[in-house]
């Protein structure tokens, strides 16, 4: 039963961060939430008995994609609107 509770919490956290990625007004914040989402996904893969995917998700999904997006967000400016000088 405790297992179900923990998994339920993880799923809830996954969905919450997913919504937060899309809903947050600040682009930088959205990217940070996206990285958090990737880490939670890695946990979910561990729960699905898929350690290989968990490793790949942590390294590629959260790590590299996150850095790529962070860097892009920095260049594009944190918010909608004009280009930074």
Q: Which residues bind other proteins (CB under 8 A)?
A: 3-4, 7-8, 11, 14-15, 18-19, 21-22, 27, 30-31, 34, 37, 41, 44-45, 47-57, 59-61, 63-65, 67-69, 71-73, 75-76, 80, 82-83
Report, in Å, the least distance between residue 81 CB and other proteins.
9
Note whether 79 and 27 are within 8 A (CB). Answer: yes
SS (H, E, C) 14-64: HHHHHHHHHHCCCHHHHHHHHHHHHHHHHHHHHHCCCHHHHHHHHHHHHHH
Report, in Å, the least distance between residue 32 CB and other proteins.
11
Report, in Å, the least distance between residue 11 CB and other proteins.
4
Note whether 25 and 33 are within 8 A (CB). Answer: no
């Amino acid at each position: 039963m405790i297992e179900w509770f923990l998994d339920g919490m993880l799923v809830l956290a996954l969905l919450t961060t997913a919504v937060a990625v899309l809903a947050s007004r600040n682009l930088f914040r959205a990217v940070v939430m996206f990285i958090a989402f990737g880490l939670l996904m890695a946990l979910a893969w561990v729960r699905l008995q898929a350690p290989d995917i968990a490793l790949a998700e942590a390294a590629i999904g959260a790590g590299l994609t996150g850095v790529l997006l962070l860097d892009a967000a920095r260049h594009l400016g944190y918010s909608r609107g004009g280009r930074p000088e």
